[in-house]
Structure 1
């Protein structure tokens, strides 16, 4: 008897590591292939081989390019995958940048750990190398949105626009007449740079993210908050450090600061953009203007206004620059990247302000700062946190509970199964209750490595 099996290999009971493996009578498909981030026990899962034969996967479909949805691809190829990795063209452009940058960071961290002797592993090895990332990139195949793409006689899929970041989609996957809908990460209704997400109209089996399933984004006066922080930074002759995700958040922050300067709401304070990956992402905005709402004329003027750093030597020049300044640097959850160098040198100073924007997963340094950590481990050593820590929640690229419910409202049928994924336990539980109360649907919260099976 023919069956369809879905294996929940990530983003199940937690936010990161999105991986969903579907076994069907015709094909084996993986939807997203991300890395776990945050808590040590989650990060350690990245080093375990998947409980499947990677060589038997025919296709990987990607919802968008973030690391927690794409970062495991080089390891999947190393484990034997040789099929096609399919996504929209801007998603593949973003994924290429993220994988190469991630590989470079992995190589550098392994080298630094070996040189300075702070790793428990001897020798420390990179999670994957640039060459391994390039092998995954060689398997990329782009497809357009809003068109059904056949994979086999009884299986086809369609990408649908989803906001969140440039190129992001949700996936409608039709298997033997049943519609499996994977939400990916759902964007905001009022995004600075992107159009609102589209909505699914039908779903037999629905897999929906729950990152903010228990929260509403606050009504914040973002402009005034940034104006106040900039003025305080100038008054105290300090540094305003903004850890930022390289995709979307960095560009949104740049646009917001540029608009404030144009309106004479902030002075011409030096602003440094120190994110090699973010700089490359800017070129994706230039290459795919139909996927965002930033006019190219504004884009160019905005880029000309900032000090865009490319070399690590310039990172140190910026740290040594005694003028009041704003630094936007990767990464957004303070898990790696250039921002660690700034924080190691400046987080002990009372004139430093660290502005956290967006979601911070459990176990990340960003989450520790929000929860009042008095010290932070950076490059193997603890540094005292004397800097002021500020938070802007409303700049999140994730839909909140109200927006998630709105994304579901146009589904005309009652799904046979609703799976809540990509959330921490409290968010998942709250969203499960809310879906039942609003729509009368029963939702299930799958556990990691759980398998669900249907008979055709």
Structure 2
């Protein structure tokens, strides 16, 4: 059996792991690279194998760094089946269509305003190419073993990270391989705790927060304090947010604060059409999360939901204090850029970062104290307050990741730490070896091995 790490190794983006066994090729996730330019440029490179030789894609969940390269894969010849859970299928559709639209718009804008270094800026993929992905989806139920081939089966188990997210247990050649996908937190606001593996010969474990312990932070108190402080300064609060799970978690917490009369009676705006669409996915998949139908309805009533871009423009130029949740979470694109163009240079503005910020993203730059921000080829001075709430991360921290390994009945032959930058992955490697004595390594991008 051969394994090749085509992405998500040494970085938290572009997750792609190839498994080859008896002439069958399986790709675990098919993510897009984000962040620094050398990583983003990898999205334009062909895979080291022909996409038409891949038989299956198994999708752990619908975030762009796990599904965002599917249109390229299909456009380059992949015709196999894409297996995932029902919510993952719905979320992936929303995310890919949104991504394609942003790619098209940004290429068009770059050509119009001539800030591209290329003679003609092209989108990584367009809406027409994206539509070709969807007929290949095959929905599977969690905890049900699915035969991919006569001697290969897969079982998806809840990973808690976002709605529909799963770890994948792959059985082949009398071995069990477990791919964690992204592991959620044991005490998430909306998601249930991840299901821990009990048997595995080889484990491929994410390590995003492999060197971090989430602070014992009262997230509601932080939100309350930051919003009230901004209101006293007559400023706007902008929260760049991932459209899936994070936006809904924020809505839930703000709704709770409003019910408790802890935050002011000002407009609360959701400006992510995809985030609004995800609310429907929550409504249609009640067994995947903790929100009741009534909670969902009541929570949504509190928010102004912008779908049309004219509504975004109206909100941007509305001078009254307000709280805006807008995608994208790492400020790599989306409507949050339009808000920051106007508000990042105002000292009364508060920007609250609420999730992981990959290397090279605008979000990471803001957290690291950038004094200016480049948006659509122009530089804007950063005069706004930039604050962070770590307690909202949908990723498990070092303790959660260690705990996820705690139910294994027998020692795995090896644990590979993927989907993490090198330092967090290496620190987690040391912790796993100290706590469990497991043989553990951090693979490099492009590395291949035989099991």
Q: What is the TM-score when the length of structure 2 is the normalising length?
A: 0.99
Which of 38, 42, 46 aligns to 2:43? It is 46
Which of 296, 310, 320 aligns to 2:293? It is 296
Which of 6, 10, 26 aligns to 1:9? It is 6
Give 1:53-452 correspondences, 5 Å limit: 53-452=50-449
Query: Runs of 5+ in structure 2 lacking a partner?
Result: none
What's the CA shift for 1:222? Answer: 1.2
Distance in 2, Cα, partners of 1:48 & 1:155: 30
Distance in 1, Cα, partners of 2:105 & 2:319: 28
For the 8 Å contact 2:329–2:355, the answer to whether it is kept is: yes
For residue 241 of structure 1, give the secondary structure of its aligned residue in structure 2.
strand
For 1:216-259, what per-residue CA distance to the aligned partner results, in whole angstroms no more than 9, with x for missing partners?
00111211111111111211111000000000000000000001
What's the CA shift for 1:267? Answer: 2.1
For the 8 Å contact 1:233–1:325, the answer to whether it is kept is: no
For 1:67-109, what per-residue CA distance to the aligned partner results, in whole angstroms no more than 9, with x for missing partners?
0000000000111100011100000000000000000000000
For residue 158 of structure 1, give the secondary structure of its aligned residue in structure 2.
strand
What's the CA shift for 1:26? Answer: 4.4
Query: Runs of 5+ in structure 1 lacking a partner?
Result: none
Distance in 2, Cα, partners of 1:150 & 1:231: 54
For 1:255-298, what per-residue CA distance to the aligned partner results, in whole angstroms no more than 9, with x for missing partners?
00001001111122211110011111111001111111101101
For the 8 Å contact 2:6–2:18, the answer to whether it is kept is: yes
Distance in 1, Cα, partners of 2:403 & 2:237: 36
For the 8 Å contact 1:26–1:152, the answer to whether it is kept is: no
- 1:27 and 2:39 aligned: no
For the 8 Å contact 2:197–2:405, the answer to whether it is kept is: yes
For the 8 Å contact 2:57–2:82, the answer to whether it is kept is: yes
Stretch moving more, 312-321 or 334-343 = 312-321
For the 8 Å contact 2:218–2:391, the answer to whether it is kept is: no
Which consecutive segments of 4 or more residues in structure 1 shift more than 3 A?
none
For the 8 Å contact 2:366–2:386, the answer to whether it is kept is: yes
Stretch moving more, 57-66 or 20-29 = 20-29
For the 8 Å contact 2:271–2:307, the answer to whether it is kept is: yes
Distance in 1, Cα, partners of 2:206 & 2:200: 15
Distance in 2, Cα, partners of 1:265 & 1:391: 20
Q: What is the TM-score when the length of structure 1 is the normalising length?
A: 0.98
For 1:345-381, what per-residue CA distance to the aligned partner results, in whole angstroms no more than 9, with x for missing partners?
1100001000000100000000000000000000110
